[in-house]
Amino acid sequence: MNWIILIVAGLFEVGFASCLGKVRETSGSEMYWWFAGFIVSLTVSMGLLLKATQTLPIGTAYAVWTGIGAVGTVLVGILVFKDPVTFWRIFFITTLILSIAGLKAVSSH
C-alpha cells in the first residue's frame, strides 16, 4: 500500500513542477491559480511522501519519488509544453525508469 502512496506522491510532484512551469508563463489572476495549484500539489506530495516513509526506507522512497517526478515532468514537458524530443532525453529517461524499477525490486519492504 505504501508503494501506491509513494507513486501518487510522485504524481503530485509532477503536478507541482508543471504548475510551476505555468506560473512562469502566465500573469495576473491566471498566474495565481497556477500558484495555488503548485501549493496544493506540493503539500499533498510532501504529505504522502512522509506517509510512505513511515514503512519504506527513506533513501529508496526519496529516490523513487524524485524519479517519478523527473520522468513525469519530462513527459509533461514533451507532451504539453512542446519540449524537444531527442534520442538522449529518451535514453536517459529510460535508464531512470529502469533504475526506479530496480530500486523497487531490491527493496526489502
The pLDDT, as a whole number, for residue 109 is 56
Instruction: Quote the cell numbers at residue 27.
Output: 500573469
pTM of the model: 0.85
How far apart are alpha carbons 69 and 63 in whole angstroms? 10
DSSP 81: S
Region 24-50: mean pLDDT is 96
Confidence of residue 106 (pLDDT cuts 50, 70, 90): confident
Region 28-51: mean pLDDT is 97
Residues whose CB is less than 8 angstroms from the CB of residue 107 and which lie 6 or more positions away in sequence, other chains included: 56, 57, 60
pLDDT, tens digit (0-9, with 9 covering 90-100), for 48-98: 999 999 999 998 899 999 999 999 999 999 998 899 999 999 999 999 999
